[in-house]
Amino acid sequence: MNARPSRRFQMRDLLIVLDGPAGAGKTTASRLLARELCYTYVDTGALYRGIAVAARDAGVRAEDDAGLRALCQGMDIRAVTDAGGARVWINGAEVTGELRTPEITMLTSAVSARPAVRECLLGIQRRLGQNKRAVFEGRDMGTVVFPDADLKFFLTAGLAARARRRHAELQGDARHRDKTLEEVTREMEQRDANDSGREHAPLAAAPDAVWIDTTEMTLDEVLRAMLARVREQAGNDACL
Ligand code: DC
């Protein structure tokens, strides 16, 4: 007996991007969304952080565009994401443990404003996204790196809420437990100003991005809101 093929709902492969300021919940939301869809998750901030570690170790200052260009050109940078988050290797040496120190966080904000660094990572990010089925998180994903992404989210939240979240995160790390909420708030404000005010690829929402203000939302609510948009998108492109 010939079994009739079942009508199967297939979702076309999507490239999904999330942009937004620090502490808006992008990392966790992107990771969960990618897991839900069985997509790859790419934390582009980790790549910028890796370059900041390399610049510090090589003694290249954030203002030294020529030095940064030379550093990036000869660099082999690799990243994978596992359950613990993004892991990064620079020229074969793992730098994951250093990516999120307050020192590297501030240095990354400065280094990521430099055109040499952005140019170097542009091609790498586009190559990583060429097969779609990926969720990319960053600051300029929807505007510069993937202006043709299938679905763009812009996650935001009030400064106080974002600083509270980051402060709570640091409480889990013995090295930074004594940072006060005021310090974290000040640093975040500084980073917001750097990321949004820079000349090259500033943090900005793409005109076609879906805005989600996470200030009063639980993670589950954020994820459900994103999945609803993914389904809408898939519905528009559904095939049998
Ligand atoms: O997302 P994050 O906090 O790990 O990002 C670290 C820094 O890198 C942040 O100051 C902004 C910058 N960044 C960027 O300029 N462009 C990206 N696509 C991702 C991060």
CATH number at residue 137: 3.40.50.300
CA of 1 relative to ligand 1 center, distance in Å:
58
Domain count, the chain: 1
Q: Which residues, at least 6 apart from 165, have a Cβ–Cβ distance to it below 8 Å?
A: 23, 25, 157
Cβ-contact 149, 141 below 8 angstroms: yes
Domain that holds residue 160: 15-231
Measured from CB, residues less than 6 Å from any atom of ligand 1 are 22, 44-45, 48-49, 108-109, 112, 138-140, 191, 195
Looking at the domain assignment, is residue 36 inside a domain?
A: yes
Q: What is the pLDDT of residues 195-208, one digit of tens each?
A: 898 888 889 999 99
**DSSP letter (8 states) at residue 9:** -
Map residue 61 onto helix, strand or coil: coil
Q: How far is the CA of 139 from the centre of ligand 1 (A)?
A: 6
Q: What contacts 124, CB < 8 A, 6 or more positions away? A: 47, 77
Residue in the block written with tokens 């996650």: 155
Of the candidates 187, 164, 190, 136, the one whose C-alpha atom is nearest the C-alpha of residue 19 is 136
Instruction: Look up the pTM and report it.
Output: 0.89
For 57-84, the pLDDT digits (tens) are: 999 999 999 999 999 998 999 999 887 8
Q: Which amino acid is at 209?
A: A
Query: Which of 96, 139, 188 has most ligand 1 atoms within 8 Å of its beta carbon, as the pocket-test mutant?
Result: 139
